[in-house]
Amino acid sequence: MLAASALVLAVAGCIGPRPSAPAATAVAPPPAWRTALAPGGPVRADWWNAFGDPVLTGLVARGLANNPDLGSAAARIDEARATERLARAQRLPLVGGSVPGTTGQTVSPLGTPSDAIGAQPAVSISYDLDLFGRLRQANRAAQAQLLATEGARDTVRLGIESSIAIGYITLRALDLRLAVARQTLAARAEGLRIARRRAETGYTSNLELRQSEYEYRATEQLVPAAQLAISRQENALSLLLGDNPGPIPRGVPLDRLATPAIPDGLPADLLRRRPDLYQAEQTLVATDRSLDSARAAMLPNLALTGSAGVALSTALANPIGVFTVGASILSPIFDGGRLRAQTDAATARRDQAAFAYRRAALQAFREVDDSLAGVQRSGEQAIALSGQRDALAGALRNASNRYRAGYSAYIDQLDAQRGLLTAELSLVQARADRLNAYVTLYQAMGGGWSPADITATTR
C-alpha cells in the first residue's frame, strides 16, 4: 500500500498543474449593450407570425416538418445520446456468466476407471473504482457534447426558419418587380402607339418612333427576366420545404407585410439564447471535461474483480462452491509519451473550443448590430425612395402633358420614364431589404424576444 501511495504521488507530480484557459477568450459586451431590460419569458418560437402572413406561417411549418437537414440533425442527436449512454455504462460494474463443460475419467479407490461429466457455471464481476474521475469526467464530457449537439440542431432549425422567411420575402419582392415591369411595359406600349401615330401623320420624325420602340423593348426584356428569377426562387423555397420544385403559394403582398416592434434596448443576456452560442459553450465544457479525463488517465487505476460459482460433476456426490476475489492496480510507468501527448492534444482542443466560443460571441454582437442598422437604414432609404418615386411620377405626368401639347421634346418624357422605373425597382428592393433585416435580427437574437421585453421598454 505504501508503494502504491508513493507511485500515485510520483505520477501526480509528473503531470503538473492543470493548464488554464487562454485569457484572450474572455468576451465583454460592447458599452451599447449595457441597457438592461426587465426579465422576460422564453424566446418566441413563432417569431415569423409577427409579419402577419398566414401563408408564411404555413411554409415555415412545412419546412420544419420536411426539411432533410433537420432529420440529419436529429440523427446526430441520437448518436450523441448513445455515446453518452456508453460513457455512463463504463462507470457501472460489468457482470458476466459462463458455463464451461468438462469430460474425463475418474479412478475409484478400487482402481476402477469411470467416465465423468462436469460443468462449472460461474458469475464474474469487474468494477473500475475510478479513483481519480477518469470515467466520471468522460461521462460529463459526453453529456456536454450531447447538449452541444442539441444546440447544433436548434441552430439548423433557426437557420431553416430564417431562410424560408427570407426566401418568401424575396419571392414577394420579385412578384412586385414583375408587376412594376408589366405596368411600365403597358405605359411604354401606349407611348409607342402614340409615337407611331404621330410619325405616320408627319407630326414628328421617325427618331422619336425609334426611341419609343427602344424603350419598349428595353422594358419588355424585364418581364421574362423577372419570371425566370421567380421560378428559381420558387425552386429554392421548395428545396427548403423538402418538396420537389414547384409553385409556391402567395399571401400578403410585400408592401402590406407587417414590421414588428423592436425594443430600444436589447440586453446582452438575450444572446445567450442563441443556439450556436449555446453549442459553442457546451463544446467548450465538453473539451474541458475531456482534458480532465485525459489527465486522470495518467494516474493509477484500481479495479476490483470477483467470481463465484459451483463445480458440478458426476464424480462428485455434492457440488463444490468456488469463488475468487481480487484487485489490481494499473499504473503507467513508461508509455513512450502516449498519455502526455493525449493530454497535450486534449489541452489544444480545449483552447480551440475556447477561441471558437469567443468568436461565436463576437459574431453574435456583430450580427445583431448589423441587423439593427439594416432595419434603420433600409427604412430610411425606403422613405427617401418613396419620395423620389412620387416626385418622378409627377415629373412624368408633366413631361407627358408637355410632349402631347408640343411644348417639349420626347426625350424629356423618356428621361422621366427611365427615372421612375429605376426608383420603383429600387423602392421594392429597399422594402425587401428592410423586411429581411427584421428576419436576420430575429435570427441574430436566437429567435427574437419575449413580449415582456417589448412592453418593458419605452419606445
Q: What CATH number is given to the structural domain containing 190?
A: 1.20.1600.10
Strands 113-119, 122-128: parallel, antiparallel or unpaired by DSSP? unpaired
The CA-atom distances, in angstroms, between 169 and each of 53, 260, 280 are: 11, 15, 30
Rounded percentage of the chain residues whose pLDDT exceeds 70: 73
Task: Give a yes or no: residue 74 inside a domain.
Answer: yes
Torsion angle, alpha carbons of 420, 422, 423, 425, to 10: 120
60-64, 368-372, 446-450: least confidently modelled range = 446-450
Please state, in angstroms and rounded to a whole number, the distance separating the CA atoms of residues 129 and 315.
40
Q: What is the pLDDT of residues 173-185, one digit of tens each?
A: 999 999 999 999 9
**Overall average pLDDT of the 96-113 stretch:** 58
Q: Which residue has the higher pLDDT, 256 or 103?
A: 256
The C-alpha atoms of residue 400 and residue 144 are separated, in whole angstroms, by 71
Mean pLDDT (whole number) for 401-413 = 78
* Gap between the Cα atoms of 434 and 372, Å rounded: 10
Please indicate, yes or no, if residue 21 is contained in any of the structural domains: no
Distance CA 76, CA 84 (A): 12
C-alpha cell at 399: 413631361
Greatest distance between any 2 Cα atoms in the chain:
145
194 compared with 5, residue with greater pLDDT: 194
- Are residues 329 and 36 in contact, defined by beta-carbon separation less than 8 angstroms? no
Q: Are 396 and 421 in contact (CB under 8 A)?
A: no
Residue 112 has pLDDT above 80, yes or no: no
pLDDT, residue 11, reads 41
Angstrom distance (rounded) from CA 159 to CA 151 = 12
Which 8-state DSSP code applies to residue 21? P
CA distance 55 to 49: 10
Beta carbons within 10 angstroms of residue 258's beta carbon: 13
pLDDT at 383: 93
Is 24 a member of any domain? Answer: no
In sequence order, the 6+-apart residues with CB closer than 8 A to the CB of 22 are 351, 354, 355
**257 C-beta neighbours (distance < 10 Å), count:** 21
pLDDT band at 9 (very low <50, low <70, confident <90, very high): very low
| pLDDT tens-digit map of 165-175 | 999 999 999 99
Share of the chain above pLDDT 90, in %: 24
Is pLDDT above 70 for 442?
yes
22 domain-assigned: no
Pairwise CA distance, residues 303 & 325, whole Å: 11
Nearest Cα to Cα of residue 356 among 292, 293, 285, 442: 285
Whole-number pLDDT of residue 229: 95
pLDDT at residue 209, rounded to an integer: 83
State pTM to two decimals.
0.79
Min mean pLDDT across 144-148, 368-372, 405-409 is at 405-409
Task: Provide the residue count of the chain.
Answer: 459
- What mean pLDDT is reported for the chain? 79
The whole domain housing 253 covers 2-15+29-455
Q: Is the distance from CB of 346 to CB of 288 less than 8 angstroms?
A: no
Q: CA 408, CA 56: separation in Å to the nearest integer?
A: 49
Check if the beta carbon of residue 131 is closer than 8 Å to that of residue 124.
Answer: no
Residue 23 lies in a domain: no
Which amino acid is present at 201?
T
- Say if CB 157 and CB 402 are below 8 A apart: no
Report helix angle 134-200 to 54-66, nearest 10. 140
- The most confident of 120-129, 293-302, 413-422, by mean pLDDT: 413-422
Q: How far apart are CA 304 and CA 302, in angstroms?
A: 7
Q: How many domains does the chain have?
A: 1
